[in-house]
Each structure stands twice: as structure tokens, then as C-alpha cells.
């Protein structure tokens, strides 16, 4: 396997890092992340203009990338710069449109890649515990077809940027019980559709989420994405892209936390010498560097496997990466703060914000315990098959 990025990906990473360092400095980032919107439309438009969103999708869909390594390069840069712009929603909704959308539905990709439309996946529900098949929000045939063909009722929880989203991809149950694999359908719903109420909340690591309530939301048959009742396979595929993206973002944040800690150990002095000369801290830092390299290997493996046609190989690599960054990201956050001593958790130090993001990534699309259990279950199922 060739671990070297192509020249195009190097150029994309250089351009993206340069743009974010100029337009998304830490103070500007704090203002955007804590704003009522949760991100900066100016920065998001700039990212789109650079081609950052287009790099997440293949050429036949209007983009110019779309491979696992393209996704990992983009999100590693976002993690290095603590960007809060809604590229994760663009990635998963866009990939769903490519996987199962009609030509008319795919037209939405243009505005997503242009950065003029914010997209979000509305899937997680209260008490779902990361299980993709746990869907209780109902979609029933409309009694009055003049108002629409389907009626949605139910709740979605912790939807990233859900209060700002123009387009929602909503999972709904059209048949079966809450944990059944069959009976899950996907619908494209406008964020401001009648009957959709949104209650936004600021996240501790910056940006926003929303609790969504659907009350008799009527949608046409054209809103149905893919075959009715067969949405779980699409959900698994797009969640795979999300796992890779979050793992790469975590790796970018780890590298920054590691570099800042190394710099602190080299410059902070006690007893007249840099504290990095103390053997105990050298051992802790060496262990941390090895762990970060393990996380990097897991991300590379996931990027290579995200398009693998063998489900077990693909999903095990993705769960392994998410488990690895969940465990190692928390370790990096804790060790970096401790080696910074009393200033490690102060608001003024960027490290504190990298640490918050590293810990919170573990709780998106399944934490380390969930993905360790999933990795084992996938292996056991393959052996028994």
C-alpha cells in the first residue's frame, strides 16, 4: 500500500491549512463556534470556493475526489484548525444522494458543494445508544394525498447544526419495530418545513446541535430517498464516511495537541532547565507519540477500506479507527493537559479547546465501547458465516 499522498492532495492540504490559519484563527473560531449560528458562513463559503466540499465527492457527481484519502485529508486539516463549519453534514447527506438519490434529488448536490445549502443527517433519537437500526420516528401514508404522500411524526436528538440546516436527511420507520433492520426509510425534508420544530443548543466543544420534533410533517413521494423500508444499508454506508471523517479530524487535533505540548516542554523551565529534560516527562511524551502514530495507522487503514466492497473488511476497519481515536484522543487530551500543569485547562490556551474536541469526537457516531463491541461482533459473524 502506498502511504504517500498524491501531489493534488498535498496541494489541497496546503491550501486548506493556509486558508484556515488566515480566516479561522483561534479568536475568530471562538466567535463563530459560540455564535447563534454555530459557524461562520463566510468561512464556509470560502471553503466551498477552495473546492474543499467538492473534494468529498467523485467526479461523476460533480466533485473532484471522493475517495477515502480525499476525505481524510480534508478532515485532518479541519481538525488541525478546530474548524466548526458543517462539512460532516455535507459529506453524509451528499453521499446518501449519490448512493440512492434520483436525478432530481441529486440536483441538491450542487448547492451543497457550493456551500450555499447546509445539510444535516437527522437520525439519532433519544435512547438509541448509537444503534443504526433504532428508529421510532414514524412515516405513514397520508390520509389526505392532496397535502402530501407521507406524514412524519417523532423526534430526533443531537442533530449537528440541525437548527441551521436547509436540508435534512431524516430516517423514519415505515414498517416493523424500533430495532428491525427492515422498515427504515430515508426522507429529504426542508429544514423549515411546516411541522418541523427545532430547539438548538451550543456544544461544549463549539458549534451547535438541535433537538428536532416532527409533528404531522407532510412530504411528497419525491422526498423518499431509495427504496421504502431499505434505508439501513444506506445509513451504514454514509455512517462509514462519517467514522472516517471523524477519525481523521481527531488525528489532526491530536497532532496539534502533541506539537503544542512538545513546545511547552521545550520552553517551560523549572530549576533553571526545560521541564522536557526530566526523564519522567520524556517517557510520558514518548508513549504519547507512539499512541498518536497508532491512531494514524488506523486512519490510513480506514481510508483505504471505506470503499471496500466486502462489508466485514470495510466496517471492521472503520470501527477499528473510531475505537482507536476514541481511546487515544482521550489519552492525548488528558496527558497534554497534565504536562501543561495548571494552565492546561485555561480558556486562553488553544490546547484546552483541542482537548474538548478530542473527547467529544468519541461520542459522535458511536463511542469507543460501541465500536469495540461492533468490531468483535463483525469478526464473530464472519467466522460463523
pLDDT at site 6: 83
pLDDT per residue over 305-347, tens digit each? 999 999 999 999 999 999 999 999 999 999 999 999 988 889 9
Q: How far, CA to CA in Å, does 128 sit from each of 135, 178, 179, 359, 365?
A: 8, 9, 9, 20, 11
Using DSSP bridges, classify how beta strands 119-122 and 167-173 pair: parallel, antiparallel or unpaired. Answer: parallel
pLDDT at site 233: 97
Q: Which secondary structure element, helix H or strand E, spans residue 273, and what is its range?
A: strand 273-274
Average pLDDT score over residue span 111-138 = 96
Above 80 in pLDDT, residue 15?
Answer: yes
Cell of 278: 526530566
pLDDT per residue over 145-202, tens digit each? 787 899 999 999 999 999 999 999 999 999 999 999 999 999 999 999 999 999 999 9
Q: How confident is the model at residue 1 (pLDDT cuts 50, 70, 90)?
A: low
Above 80 in pLDDT, residue 94?
Answer: yes
Average pLDDT score over residue span 20-28 = 95
β-pair partners for 273 = 270
What does the CA dihedral 254, 256, 259, 261 come to, rounded to 10 degrees?
-70
Half-sphere exposure (Cβ direction) of 8: Cα atoms closer than 13 Å: 10
Above 70 in pLDDT, residue 207?
Answer: yes
Q: How confident is the model at residue 385 (pLDDT cuts 50, 70, 90)?
A: confident
pLDDT at site 342: 81
Q: Using CA atoms, how far apart are residues 369 and 380, in angstroms rounded to an integer?
A: 17
Above 80 in pLDDT, residue 375?
Answer: yes
Q: Are 330 and 257 in contact (CB under 8 A)?
A: no
Average pLDDT score over residue span 27-32 = 96
**Exposed/middle/buried for residue 228 (C-beta within 10 Å: 0-12, 13-18, 19+):** middle
Q: How confident is the model at residue 143 (pLDDT cuts 50, 70, 90)?
A: confident
Work out whether the CA dihedral 182, 188, 117, 28 comes out positive or negative: negative
Q: How confident is the model at residue 2 (pLDDT cuts 50, 70, 90)?
A: low
Average pLDDT score over residue span 96-118 = 97
Above 60 in pLDDT, residue 42?
Answer: yes
Listing DSSP states for 188-251 in one string gives EEETT-TTEEEEEEE-TTSSEEEEEEEEEEEE-GGGEESSTTB-HHHHHHHHHHHHHHHHHHHH
pLDDT at site 27: 95
Above 90 in pLDDT, residue 3?
Answer: no
Average pLDDT score over residue span 9-32 = 94
β-pair partners for 274 = 269
Cell of 188: 429529504
Q: Using CA atoms, how far apart are residues 89 and 29, in angstroms rounded to an integer?
A: 19
Write down the pTM of the prediction.
Answer: 0.96
pLDDT at site 148: 84
Residue 144 DSSP one-character state: S
Amino acid at each position: 500500500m502506498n502511504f504517500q499522498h498524491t501531489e493534488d492532495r498535498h496541494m489541497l492540504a496546503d491550501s486548506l491549512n493556509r486558508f484556515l490559519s488566515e480566516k479561522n484563527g483561534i479568536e475568530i473560531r471562538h466567535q463563530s463556534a459560540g455564535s447563534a449560528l454555530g459557524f461562520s458562513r463566510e468561512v464556509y463559503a470560502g471553503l466551498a470556493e477552495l473546492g474543499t466540499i467538492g473534494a468529498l465527492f467523485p467526479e461523476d457527481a460533480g466533485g473532484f475526489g471522493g475517495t477515502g484519502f480525499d476525505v481524510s485529508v480534508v478532515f485532518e486539516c479541519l481538525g488541525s484548525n478546530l474548524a466548526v463549519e458543517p462539512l460532516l453534514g455535507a459529506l453524509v447527506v451528499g453521499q446518501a444522494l449519490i448512493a440512492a438519490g434520483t436525478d432530481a434529488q441529486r440536483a441538491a448536490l450542487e448547492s451543497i458543494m457550493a456551500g450555499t445549502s447546509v445539510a444535516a443527517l437527522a437520525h439519532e433519537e433519544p435512547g438509541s445508544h448509537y444503534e443504526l437500526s433504532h428508529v421510532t420516528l414514524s412515516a405513514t401514508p397520508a390520509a389526505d394525498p392532496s397535502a402530501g404522500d407521507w406524514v412524519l411524526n417523532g423526534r430526533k436528538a443531537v442533530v449537528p447544526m440541525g437548527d441551521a440546516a436547509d436540508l435534512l436527511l431524516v430516517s423514519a420507520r415505515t414498517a416493523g419495530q424500533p430495532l428491525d433492520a427492515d422498515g427504515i426509510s430515508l426522507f429529504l425534508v426542508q429544514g423549515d418545513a411546516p411541522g418541523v420544530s427545532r430547539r438548538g443548543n451550543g456544544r461544549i466543544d463549539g458549534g451547535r446541535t438541535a433537538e428536532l420534533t416532527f409533528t404531522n410533517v407532510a412530504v411528497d413521494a419525491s422526498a423518499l430517498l431509495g427504496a421504502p423500508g431499505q434505508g439501513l444499508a444506506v445509513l451504514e454506508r454514509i455512517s462509514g464516511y462519517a467514522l472516517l471523517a471523524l477519525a481523521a479530524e481527531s488525528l489532526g487535533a491530536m497532532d496539534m495537541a502533541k506539537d503544542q505540548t512538545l513546545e511547552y516542554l521545550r520552553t517551560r523551565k523549572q530549576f533553571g532547565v526545560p521541564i522536557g529534560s526530566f526523564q519522567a516527562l520524556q517517557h510520558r511524551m514518548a508513549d504519547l507519540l507512539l499512541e498518536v502514530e497508532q491512531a494514524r495507522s488506523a486512519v490510513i487503514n480506514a481510508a483505504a477500506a471505506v470503499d471496500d466492497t466486502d462489508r466485514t473488511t470495510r466496517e471492521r476497519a472503520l470501527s477499528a479507527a473510531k475505537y482507536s481515536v476514541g481511546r487515544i484522543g482521550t489519552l492525548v487530551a488528558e496527558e497534554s493537559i497534565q504536562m501543561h500543569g495548571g494552565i492546561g485547562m485555561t480558556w486562553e490556551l488553544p490546547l484546552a479547546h483541542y482537548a474538548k474536541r478530542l473527547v467529544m469526537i468519541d461520542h459522535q457516531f458511536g463511542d469507543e465501547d460501541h465500536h469495540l463491541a461492533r468490531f468483535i461482533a463483525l469478526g464473530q459473524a464472519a467466522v460463523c458465516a
